[in-house]
Amino acid sequence: MGGDFHCPIMEESLKFILQCTSQEEGNGARDGASSSTKILSFPSLPATVAEVKARIEKECQIPEPLQAILFGSVILESSTELKSLRLRSGDTLTVRYHSTAQCKELDEGMAWIQYLLETFQRLGVPLSYSMQQQDDTIFQALESIREEDNFMTRLAFDYSLPWLEPRVSANKVYFIQKKGLEKLLELHTCLVSCQWHALPLELQLLQGQILMVIWNLAETFQLRREILKRGGLEKCIQSLVQVRIVPELLEENDKDDMVTIWECIRSSVGALANLCELPETHLTLATNREAIEQLMSIATTKTFDLKSIQAVAVLLLVLSYTSETHPYLIQSKVVESMMNLSYLNEDEFYFIGYVEEIQPILMNYHRATFFAHLFLISTDLLSTEQILLINDCISQFLAMATTEELIDAELKEHYIWETFIPYVRLFYQPPIPSTSPILSMPDFDVLQRDCLYVNLMALHNMLSRENHRTILKRQELLDYITCLPWHLSGDLVESGRELVRLFQFDSQINLQPPSLSNMAKAIVAKNYCGLERVLKEPVIELYQNIQR
């Protein structure tokens, strides 16, 4: 996917012959490349490559970070001076790019965000109902918020979805490059300066839409780290702990308020679930007692819809990816709360006119996978009562769900996962010490097998999609999948082989036998120290450290 165009060097203009092979640029044609010609005139030869990129961005809607300008086969730095290339008439620069973006539309929207931000700053913070008495201009600006087709909605959906589309990726790069994300987060800071219930409905809606934008922007680890370094994680946590349903609201059955709260809560939790796939975020949220208590309240009080509870289950699942969070989750009674998930069913939320398709299988699946991570990694931290609860949940899930149903449900919800290390490592956990009292627990082996099977179902579900197989290969985990059947036993062996077959029939992967080094690492991981450590250390050093 992508394209290039050539620009013969002329005295006052550069002639671009555009050639792009992406489906988007080629109007749906997968075979062949679309071509067009464009001449950009300059008062004089541009001084640097950066000037050329800026002009191309303006005229051709190709974000600067996505442009690679070549002279011959050499990629030029943005700071390169064109005169240093000693260009002659007829020489050609090649501009390669992945996709165009909707730059003009995004520019208009960012100008609107800037206008709102300046208005808030002029009114001062904290914002409240009293601002209506100070200045009506803000409400004139917010009239469009109630409309379905406003910029925030377009930014969250039209410009940020579907994931994996070249133009969508280009939109996100452009929005961040042009400081749109910074402005969005500044706007959020203004909104959380006042208690949620003191905000006018329009500003409550705006906060929910900002969180939805953050959720949908967070497509890849790279984009998530851009959000993270600008304080996006803290913003989402702020909204999570601030937005609450008060008893008066439940008594009034206020349609607009309930829907607004649901959307804000779900968006904050969904954004956090995406951001918390990054390992460096786990402890920040897990150690925030107020945030965890709010998540448990959402999950168990039967005041939210299934989508919100499902988002909570996903967030807790990604928090369980690292063992460092497990003590905090277990101490916070998350195990007990996850066994008592409660949500408004279809009949109960008809009264506010808010109906969505319900797929409880996903909520149950994410809960069971969360329990599998806790049990297989931190068995020694769990009480007997908690282990019995986990056993009940896992047994019920396996009795009602199939891998095929999970694949179908996640496809409908468009789930995309960015890391598979936490799932693969569960199969390479070192054995529990023979002196551990947990081994004498009745049916311990059965529960351990069931948790591994849930994890196999999870991997089979996720790796049924080509983009996930590509991510797993990029994370250098493919050899450990290939070795997996050798480290399983009983009926799990065949399930492990089925995982390997997903890659055997993928023409893009070109499955090869595992390297001797990785085969050795798999053995060391399974018998001594776990997968995470062997991924970080050379196998010889690892063996020497273990021997010491």
Ordered by where they begin, the domains of the chain are 3-97 (3.10.20.90), 102-275 (no CATH), 393-408+426-434+447-547 (no CATH)
For the ranges 75-84, 341-350, 409-418, 529-538, which has the lowest average pLDDT? 341-350
Apex 505 CA angle, 510 and 495, nearest 5? 110
Q: How far apart are the first and last CA of the chain?
A: 50
Tell me the per-residue pLDDT of 123-156, one tens digit each, with 9 for 90 and over: 776 665 455 555 566 666 667 677 777 899 999 9
pLDDT, mean over the chain: 86
**DSSP per-residue string spanning 220-245:** SHHHHHHHHHTTHHHHHHHHHHH---
**DSSP per-residue string spanning 439-484:** GGSTTHHHHHHHHHHHHHHHHHHHTTSHHHHHHHHHTT-HHHHHHG
The residue ranking higher by pLDDT, 181 or 32, is: 181
Say which residues have a Cβ less than 8 Å from residue 483's Cβ, sequence separation at least 6.
514, 518, 519, 522
Locate tokens 């007829």: which residue?
90
Q: How confident is the model at residue 195 (pLDDT cuts 50, 70, 90)?
A: confident
Backbone phi, then psi, for 126, in 5-degree steps?
-75, 150
Tell me the per-residue pLDDT of 458-494, one tens digit each, with 9 for 90 and over: 999 999 999 999 999 999 999 999 999 999 999 999 9
Apex 119 CA angle, 113 and 121, nearest 5? 100
Say which residues have a Cβ less than 8 Å from residue 394's Cβ, sequence separation at least 6.
368, 371, 372, 447, 450, 451, 454
Q: With contact defined as beta carbons under 8 Å apart, do 253 and 274 qualify? A: no
For the chain, the maximum distance between any two Cα atoms, rounded to a whole number of angstroms, is: 84
Say which residues have a Cβ less than 8 Å from residue 345's Cβ, sequence separation at least 6.
306, 358
How far is it, in rounded angstroms, from Cα 15 to Cα 7?
A: 5
Amino acid 352: pLDDT: 47
Q: With contact defined as beta carbons under 8 Å apart, do 372 and 364 qualify? A: no
Amino acid 150: pLDDT: 85
How far is it, in rounded angstroms, from Cα 32 to Cα 373?
A: 47
- Mean per-residue pLDDT for 208-216? 96
Helix (H) or strand (E) run with residue 496 in it: helix 492-504
Helix (H) or strand (E) run with residue 97 in it: strand 92-97
- Mean per-residue pLDDT for 348-364? 64
pLDDT at 295 over 90: yes
- Mean per-residue pLDDT for 375-388? 95
CB atoms within 10 A of CB 236: 28
Q: How confident is the model at residue 526 (pLDDT cuts 50, 70, 90)?
A: very high
Q: What torsion, rounded to 10 degrees, do the Cα atoms 48, 52, 54, 56 define?
A: -170
Helix, coil or strand: residue 93: strand
Top mean-pLDDT range of 2-6, 219-223, 346-350:
219-223
Tell me the per-residue pLDDT of 1-47, one tens digit each, with 9 for 90 and over: 456 656 655 545 555 545 454 544 544 333 444 555 566 777 777 88
Q: How confident is the model at residue 539 (pLDDT cuts 50, 70, 90)?
A: low
Amino acid 31: pLDDT: 41
* Percentage of residues in the chain having pLDDT higher than 90: 59
Amino acid 125: pLDDT: 61
Q: How confident is the model at residue 536 (pLDDT cuts 50, 70, 90)?
A: confident
- Mean per-residue pLDDT for 314-331? 97
pLDDT at 313 over 50: yes
For the ranges 4-13, 95-104, 312-321, 430-439, which has the lowest average pLDDT? 4-13
Q: Find, among 387, 66, 37, 38, the residue nearest to 222 by Cα.
A: 66
Q: How confident is the model at residue 546 (pLDDT cuts 50, 70, 90)?
A: low
Tell me the per-residue pLDDT of 114-130, one tens digit each, with 9 for 90 and over: 988 888 887 776 665 45
Q: With contact defined as beta carbons under 8 Å apart, do 108 and 136 qualify? A: no
Tell me the per-residue pLDDT of 487-513, one tens digit each, with 9 for 90 and over: 999 999 999 999 999 999 888 888 999
- Mean per-residue pLDDT for 207-212? 96
How far is it, in rounded angstroms, from Cα 399 to Cα 391?
A: 12
**Alpha-carbon dihedral sign for residues 192, 195, 200, 204:** positive
How far is it, in rounded angstroms, from Cα 310 to Cα 139?
A: 34
Amino acid at 86: R
Q: With contact defined as beta carbons under 8 Å apart, do 427 and 487 qualify? A: yes
Say which residues have a Cβ less than 8 Å from residue 323's Cβ, sequence separation at least 6.
377, 378
Amino acid 9: pLDDT: 55
pLDDT at 259 over 90: no
Tell me the per-residue pLDDT of 53-79, one tens digit each, with 9 for 90 and over: 999 999 889 999 999 888 878 899 999
Say which residues have a Cβ less than 8 Å from residue 330's Cβ, sequence separation at least 6.
374, 378, 381, 382, 386
Amino acid 258: pLDDT: 77
CB atoms within 10 A of CB 14: 22
Q: With contact defined as beta carbons under 8 Å apart, do 74 and 85 qualify? A: no
Order of all β-strands in the sheet with 92-97: 34-41, 13-20, 3-8, 92-97, 68-71, 74-75
Amino acid 200: pLDDT: 79
Per 3-state DSSP, the chain is made up of helix, strand and coil in percentages (nearest 5) of: 65, 5, 30
Amino acid 301: pLDDT: 86
pLDDT at 346 over 70: no
Q: How confident is the model at residue 442 (pLDDT cuts 50, 70, 90)?
A: confident
Amino acid 456: pLDDT: 98
**pTM metric for this prediction:** 0.91
Apex 247 CA angle, 246 and 249, nearest 5? 70
